Amino acid sequence: MNNNYFDLGSKKFLIITLVILVCFFLLIVKAFNDLSDAQANMENNQPQKQAAVDINNVMNTMPRPNDSEEQNQEEQPAEQQYEPQQNRGLNVDIQSSVNATEELKPIDDNDSLPEQAVEPVQENNQSLSAEQQLELQFLSARKNKDEKQYVKALEEYKAIAENSTDASVKARCYEEMADVYGIVKRYGTALSYAQRAYNAAPTTSREMLIARLYYKTGEIDKATKRVNNILQRDFSNDR
C-alpha cells in the first residue's frame, strides 16, 4: 500500500502534482494583478500630486492684496500719461488714412485740367517710341474696361484699330472689343468681332473665344465643331 501511495505513476501522485502546479499558477497570476494595481495607483496619484504642486505654485505667485494696491497706485500715473499718447497716435493714423484716401481718389472725367498741366504729358508721350505709345493706348483702354467704362473702352480700341496697319494690332483690338460686348451680353456683336480678330491673326485662344460665343448664342453645334477643330489640330501638332 505504501509503495502504491508513493508510486510516481499512480493517479494520486499525478493529482497532487497537478494541484500544486495550479496553486503556483494562481499565485503567479495574483502577483501580476497586484503589481498592475500598484502601478495603476501610482499613475493615478501622480497627476494629483502634480496638480497639488501646480496649485501651490500658483498660490505662491499670486500677489498679496496690499502689494497689488500699491502696484496699482504706482502704475496709475503712467497709464494716465499713456492715454493721451494713444489718442494722439489714433488721431495721426486717422489723419494719415484720410490723406491717403484723398490722394487715391480718382479724378472725375468731367473735371477739366488746366492746359499747362496737359502740355508736359503730351511732350512726354511724343518722346516715346511708337510701340510705347501703342502700349499706353492699350493700357488706357484696358483701364476703362476694368472700371466698367465700356463705351470709352470700345472707342479707344476702335481708334487703335483704325489708326494701325498691323494685322496683329487690329486682331488684338477686335478680340478685346469682342470680350467687352460679351460682358454686356451682346453676343451677336461680340461674335462678329471675335471672327474678325481670328481672320486677322488666327490663334487658338481667339478660336476658343468664338466657340464660347457660339455657345452663348445657343449654337451648340457650331461651338462643338470649333472645339473639335482645336483638339484635332493640337493632337496633330503633338505627333
pLDDT in tens, 33-74: 777 777 776 766 655 555 555 555 555 555 554 554 545 555
- 3 state SS of 179: helix
Tell me what the pLDDT averaged over the chain comes to. Answer: 73
- From the list 207, 174, 180, 176, the residue with the least C-alpha distance to 192 is 174
Are 169 and 134 within 8 A, CB to CB? yes
Per-residue confidence (pLDDT) for residue 229, from 0 to 100: 87
- From the list 213, 221, 219, the residue with the least C-alpha distance to 197 is 213
Per-residue confidence (pLDDT) for residue 153, from 0 to 100: 94
Residue pLDDT, tens place only, 177-219: 999 999 999 999 999 999 999 999 999 999 999 999 999 999 9
Are 149 and 160 within 8 A, CB to CB? no
> Which CATH class, in words, describes the domain spanning 131-238?
mainly alpha
Angle between the N-to-C axes of helices 204-216 and 167-183, in degrees from 0 to 180, rounded to the nearest 10: 30
- From the list 156, 155, 150, 204, the residue with the least C-alpha distance to 182 is 150
Name every residue whose Cβ is closer than 8 Å to that of residue 158 and which is 6 or more positions away in sequence.
173, 177
DSSP per-residue string spanning 189-202: HHHHHHHHHHHHS-
